[in-house]
Amino acid sequence: MNYAETLGVRAKAAEKAIASASPQVKNQALATIADTLLARQEKIIAANAKDLEAAVQNHMTDSLQDRLRLTPERISGMASAVRQLIAAEDPIGAVDSGSIRPNGLQILKTRVPLGVIGIIFESRPNVTVDAATLCLKAGNAVILRGGKEAIHSNTMLVKIMREAVGTVGLPQDIIQLVEDTSHETAADLMHLTGYLDVLIPRGGAGLIQAVLRQSTVPVIETGAGNCHVYVDQCLHGEADYEMAVKIIDNAKTQCPSVCNAIEGLLVHEAVAPEILPRVQQTFQARNVTIYGCEQTRQILGEAIAPATEALYDTEFNDYKITIKVVSDLDEALAHIARYSTKHSECIITRDLDAAQKFQRMVDAAVVYVNASTRFTDGGEFGYGAEIGISTQKLHARGPMGLCELTTVKYLVNGSGQIR
């Protein structure tokens, strides 16, 4: 039995306890986790400092270091997110629908836990707490495999959470961390059929595609975000130009390392001479590197680096963006269809027909009109915390909250009916 299998055995042994736990016990566990995160924040920050020191030595980019960094404010935010889960409605046992058949059979479609969930993610320690507590609230055991760049932070966070759930009588093994960050153990985790009910990769396109290729456990695809904003020709003067630039700036620079930040900007040729210099000025203040098509470079100057097919296909997670001037909406749609990861896409326009066509034709989990893609988030949608953004079409799509971490069970009651 390999290391990953030992974790699977322990998770399976703990699965029934969390699946049958009352809402009160689960909420008590969450409250204890939130309190303990705050009480031990100095230890968390000390562990995180070791990861940050290694990040500097390994020449990690500033934006990725920011994703890795934990501060008192961020730990407080993590604790607040856990407390918000306490207020959320418990999905387990909820009835989606019910009916009585002509033969008298009573059929209820109810919500039950998925079982044991494996989550593979990269360098954001807050995901460790988000994922574990969401799974707990939804009645699931979880095996967490973070990246080696956050191993000290993750080890401390999981230690705190395991101790917290133990104090309310739940098995500590409902939350486990893969402390061996080798590729071999990650591969073993992807083959834990019989132990894991589902595997959720959360991170960049490379991680997600590797899991999809290798896993024999069912996978929910999340996270990769090659997102775009398209600026249509139908804008009505200075106010609309200002709106467009604000949306573009927010979608790119408010937090460039996350999956709902844009990586590509498409601009209709009719408004490109007005829009692009404004965008360039804003991006210069943020130190954003622009890669432009030939028309973009004609407008902004040859100091703009040329865009390439490979760059159009890149999720930068950094202060970088591609810009392409297009002749019409159809060219924009074709570009998005070619390069989008089906996460979040946006059109800026005052033309209702163009807006409706864009929302109808774009194949993505979330399609915006005149709003930043940065809103693709369970909390921003009013659904509470989420495990990630699903970009596939089976089981769940878009923000994956508590309900999406459950499945259904049909309860059928009869009085002697036979077929």
Over the stretch 278-299, which tens digit does the pLDDT of each residue have? 999 999 999 999 999 999 999 9
Retrieve residue 285's tokens.
């203040």
- The pLDDT score that the predictor gives to residue 328 is 97
Over the stretch 125-167, which tens digit does the pLDDT of each residue have? 989 999 999 999 999 999 999 999 999 999 999 999 999 999 9
Q: Is pLDDT of 223 > 80? A: no
Retrieve residue 127's tokens.
């995901």
Contacts of 73 (CB under 8 A, 6+ apart): none
Q: Is pLDDT of 123 > 90? A: no
Encoded amino acid at 180, one letter: D
Residue located via tokens 């290694």: 54
- The pLDDT score that the predictor gives to residue 19 is 98
- The pLDDT score that the predictor gives to residue 64 is 82
Retrieve residue 279's tokens.
């965008």
Query: Please, where are the H alpha helices in 89-217?
Result: 125-137, 151-166, 183-189, 205-214
Q: Is pLDDT of 94 > 80? A: yes
Average pLDDT over residues 60-80: 91
Average pLDDT over residues 206-226: 88
Q: With bands split at pLDDT 50, 70 and 90, how would you rate the model's confidence at 323?
A: very high
Residue located via tokens 């699931």: 140
Pairing of strands 175-177, 141-145: parallel
* Interatomic CA distance for residues 153 and 45, integer angstroms: 8
* Interatomic CA distance for residues 243 and 271, integer angstroms: 14
